[in-house]
């Protein structure tokens, strides 16, 4: 399997997107405390929304 095929396969999985959002959210740790709370809240909200919207393998 080529590397690009592997990357595309991972990008089609909901857990990949949730992981990427988690990493992006964690990057906010070095910002001002006011921004940290906003970034974490937004990251959790986006991750939760994606978990609801994206299909899992084997769904109907």
pLDDT at 30: 64
Contact call for residues 14 and 56 (beta carbons, < 8 A): yes
- Whether 60 has a pLDDT exceeding 50, the answer reads no
Residue 58 pLDDT: 53
CB 39 within 8 A of CB 25: yes
pLDDT of res. 31: 66
From CA 50, how far away is CA 45, in angstroms rounded?
A: 9
pLDDT of residue 41: 85
Residues in the chain: 60
The pLDDT of residue 56 is above 60 = yes
On whether the CB atoms of residues 9 and 16 are closer than 8 A, the answer is no
Establish how many alpha carbons lie within 13 A of residue 50's alpha carbon, considering only the half-sphere containing its beta carbon: 18
Q: Mind listing the pLDDT tens digit for each residue in 2-35?
A: 988 888 888 888 788 778 777 877 765 566 777 7
């Amino acid at each position: 399997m080529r590397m690009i095929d592997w990357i595309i396969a991972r990008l089609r999985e909901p857990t990949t997107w949730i992981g990427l959002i988690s990493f992006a959210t964690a990057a906010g740790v070095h910002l001002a405390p006011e921004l940290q709370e906003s970034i974490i809240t937004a990251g959790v909200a986006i991750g939760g929304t994606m978990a609801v919207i994206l299909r899992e393998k084997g769904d109907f």
